Amino acid sequence: MAAAAPPAVASAAMEEDRPPAWKRVDELVDQLKARVEQRRRQGAYPPGVESDLDDHFRRIVAHRVQPELEELKGRLGRLDLHMAFDPARIPSDSQVMGGTAVHRGVSKLVARQTQGVLQQVMEFADAVRDVLRSTVAALEDPNGHVHADLVGHVDHVLERMAHYERDQLVMADSIAELRDRVAELEVELPARLGALEVAEERRTFRPWFSNERFEAEFRGTHDELIERYRDLVHHFDGLAPVLEIGCGRGEFLELLGEIGVAATGVEMDADLAKRAADQGLEVTAGNGLEALAAAEPESLGGVVLVQVVEHLTAQEVVQLVSLAAEKLRPGGKVLIETVNPQSLYVFARAFYLDPTHAQPVHPGYLSFLFREAGFDGVFIEWRSPPPADEVLLEPSPRAAEPQRENVRRLNQLLFAPQDYAIVAIR
């Protein structure tokens, strides 16, 4: 029977059996770390990737912990000492009289069978010893053996790095496309801005006549407007301060002053604002919505817009209601007077007289906005009925009832009040 090769020889043989293409795990880890450091300095990886890779490295290192082998080596040495199997070592002594002679006699008779059994035991012991030596060699040199889960971790790290590098390439392509588009826009932008300026110039209305002359011609004189709005000013008793947006020549501000309510006005037309200020009213030229937005929350007692809301865009109308809800204190009021789109007479006689009118605002829609904004009470007052001599005449009492009803309905549709005032309470 051939003797088993010593551990050093077995380890050398295992080294020769390794595949030539094998790369040690230490080398892979060092290469990965070097590659990550290089890519990190280049800014190639997004935040968090380094901690992910550190987790993988820690799992890899956990597989490379050197075990304590001294005890295992000692047991393997004791196994070598007991490997000398020999039939002569089988004891034949006996305490029974004549037993020793009997044992020796029996041993000679079964010597062949005993030798066969020992041969099998020796072969098994040699195989066990080879396995143990291989195990010790593997534990002493963990880098010389392949662990499937370890290789899987390394492969996963490589895959993640390739994924980030692919993302970087895609991002680089996207940035290149974006730069190309920016370059195109730099060429197109001046032309587009020019077109916008032309369009804005066409929308801008700059009349050579004064707004003061226009209001005197079509809205009424100063004294006429004072009398027209005297019945509305009482809504603001005790609600100072009041902000009027689009105050014009300041007639409503004068009425507020008469009842002792402190009020300020904002007017887009600089000439009208100057005239009102010259009369001692606190009026500035500017955008009324911007002035309302600049007020402190719950700092106002009232907001007034007289024949103004029809000049606003749809977005400005909703912005107005929202701002009023924010800037009015509880119990404060908004008063808006505007043309009544439910009267067809308005469109024939008043609405299109002013070229700066944007759109009429329906009383139902404006009431809805205030309720949605959280106002507690919303009330409507119908104002400015058409002249009596332009309304359809009532049929004579002798006329049939259907005829009288039709005339009533036509008057309601054609000659409803020209204006309405909506009062909303915060």
As a whole number, mean pLDDT of residues 38-66 equals 65
Q: What is the pLDDT of residue 289?
A: 96
As a whole number, mean pLDDT of residues 2-14 equals 46
Residue 119 has pLDDT above 90, yes or no: no
User: CA-CA distances (angstroms) from residue 136 to 66, 73, 178, 330?
Assistant: 11, 7, 61, 87
Comparing 164-168, 178-182, 204-208, 377-381, which segment has the lowest mean pLDDT? 164-168
Q: What is the pLDDT of residue 12?
A: 47
Q: What is the pLDDT of residue 85?
A: 59
Residue 54 has pLDDT above 90, yes or no: no
Cα–Cα distance measured from residue 195 to residue 188, given in angstroms and rounded to the nearest whole number: 11
Residue 87 has pLDDT above 80, yes or no: no
Contacts of the segment 351-358: beta carbons below 8 A, 24+ positions apart: 351/310, 353/218, 354/214, 354/218, 355/205, 355/207, 356/205, 356/311, 357/310, 357/311, 358/310, 358/311, 358/312, 358/313
Cα–Cα distance measured from residue 287 to residue 130, given in angstroms and rounded to the nearest whole number: 97
**More confident site: 242 or 41:** 242
Average pLDDT, the chain: 78
**More confident site: 163 or 256:** 256
Residue in the structure block whose two tokens are 């209305």: 205
Comparing 17-31, 215-229, 247-261, 346-360, which segment has the lowest mean pLDDT? 17-31
343-400 pLDDT, tens digit each: 988 888 888 888 888 899 999 999 999 999 999 999 999 999 998 888 888 877 777 8
Q: What is the pLDDT of residue 165?
A: 63
Q: What is the pLDDT of residue 139?
A: 61
Q: What is the pLDDT of residue 175?
A: 79
Q: What is the pLDDT of residue 129?
A: 66
Query: Percent of the chain having pLDDT more than 90?
Result: 37
Q: What is the pLDDT of residue 9?
A: 44
Residue 323 has pLDDT above 90, yes or no: yes
**More confident site: 160 or 330:** 330
As a whole number, mean pLDDT of residues 21-36 equals 67
Token pair listed for 338:
């505007």
**More confident site: 394 or 130:** 394
Domains of the chain, with CATH numbers?
7-165 (no CATH), 211-425 (3.40.50.150)
Q: What is the pLDDT of residue 170?
A: 73
**More confident site: 272 or 58:** 272
